[in-house]
Amino acid sequence: RLHRNQTVISDIRTLAADGRIVWVRSYAQPVWDKENNRLAGIYGAVQDVTAQKEAELALRLSESRYRMLFRQNPAPMLIYERPALKILDVNEAFCSHYGYTQEEACSFELKDLYPEDEKEEISELARGLRGYQNVGEWHHIKKDGSIITISAVSHDIDLEGKSARVAVITDVSDRKKAEDRIRKMNLELEQRVLDR
């Protein structure tokens, strides 16, 4: 490339005199002989970029671990962008529990998971959330049209430069049904006591 009068910038792993592996960024600029149209020399510089490379590696490993924890978490999870409330990602547990494919879920806005009477309220709430928040119990619509009662906690994240939130969802439908049965049995029991 230098013989074609092109600048060359490259990152190279080198071995320092003390045995350490050091990343350097090499800048090579051709000195061009215009009269003879050829490379007459090279001038350049070398910059130690070891700290930058180590930081990039640590970030890649951190993101990889986060992705693994997100993807393989047994609880349904979703990530949505703020303020648009566009769903950016869902994990495998979400797809399995809700019946949507990842592509289908990522074509939704957050409010699309909620029944009509909750859409406006959840949209306003979600736009204002900051930090770690327990957002309480709501209803979600699964792909088959069934409605489940959910409890969700969420917190802020930065996803590829986008301001976003990750939400962990718990289906509490069975618990709510059990609570309703217990309430109904208690009322019936109280009525029997009054009748006696």
Answer yes or no: is pLDDT of 50 > 90.
Answer: no
Place of tokens 């289906």: 171
| Best CA proximity match to 98, nearest among 136, 167, 144 | 144
Q: For every residue of 21-49, which 3-state class applies, written as one string? A: EEEEEEEEEEEEECCCCEEEEEEEEEEEC
pLDDT band at 59 (very low <50, low <70, confident <90, very high): confident
Compute the average pLDDT of residues 75-88.
94
Q: Are 108 and 122 in contact (CB under 8 A)?
A: no
| Best CA proximity match to 166, nearest among 45, 63, 56, 77 | 77
pLDDT band at 113 (very low <50, low <70, confident <90, very high): very high
Share of the chain above pLDDT 70, in %: 99
pLDDT in tens, 123-169: 999 998 999 988 889 999 999 999 999 999 999 988 778 899 999 99
pTM beyond 0.75, yes or no = no
Answer yes or no: is pLDDT of 98 > 90.
Answer: yes
pLDDT at 84: 92
From CA 125, how far away is CA 138, in angstroms rounded?
12
Q: Are 142 and 98 in contact (CB under 8 A)?
A: yes
